[in-house]
Structure 1
């Protein structure tokens, strides 16, 4: 099987580091919190933001998921849109506060929101 060699320049690493920091800060996350959310060591994460290292692909995917961006946006292949995904201003404001809640409370919110969405889908199916 042929291997693919990727060359990453110092400029690429610096650009990635800056993009990572900007995305993290726009989500109001600390380096430590983002590292926790992706299951990484906070010292390793700090090295990524300083441009010393680039994370492995599986870690890049976790970061993109937590930051709610695509891999292309995270790596700079496309620009990141800063439009809120939630259009209801009150709900959007509350969602901005969710990251400060303990993980157990966040999990409870996920379960609650999932059940409400499933109920709404079921109501639409039954109404059709």
Structure 2
């Protein structure tokens, strides 16, 4: 955690703001939606993205989690990677909306997705052995 704190304190906030905006846009997320997921006021988030103010270290860690990136990518210590897990635009949009579902609905979705993946893998395995 100490190394993380030192790297964060050495960060150029304009660079951080620019990277934050770039990663958010790559994830096809609005400022309002990201602020909602981070549980911060959208005006506070907007100031972070403009470089007008700096988030606390804990908020930077949370931003990295929500954007599925690393703190190092946010602060400029590593290249920004395209870590979009879902490349199909329609599936990606649905994936982004999963957080809005109830816990029960999310669990049902996990069961359904697991079943479909297992069925697909089984079909591929059977085709390979035929």
Q: TM-score, normalised by structure 2?
A: 0.68
- Alignment RMSD, CA only? 3.1
Whether 1:114 and 2:110 are equivalent positions in the alignment is yes
Q: Displacement, 1:21?
A: 0.5
User: How far apart, in 1, do the equivalents of 2:104 and 2:54 lie?
Assistant: 30
Unmatched segments (≥5 aa) in structure 2: 119-130
Aligned counterpart, 1:125: none
CA gap of 1:7–1:97, structure 2 versus 1, over 3 A, is closer
CA gap of 1:94–1:81, structure 2 versus 1, over 3 A, is same
Aligned counterpart, 2:14: 14
2:16 partner SS = helix
Whether 1:103 and 2:96 are equivalent positions in the alignment is no
User: How far apart, in 2, do the equivalents of 1:112 and 1:14 lie?
Assistant: 42
Q: Displacement, 1:115?
A: 3.1
Pairs aligned (count): 111
Aligned counterpart, 1:72: 72
Q: TM-score, normalised by structure 1?
A: 0.69
CA gap of 1:106–1:50, structure 2 versus 1, over 3 A, is farther
Q: Displacement, 1:71?
A: 1.0
Q: Displacement, 1:14?
A: 0.7
Unmatched segments (≥5 aa) in structure 1: 121-128
Aligned counterpart, 2:82: 82
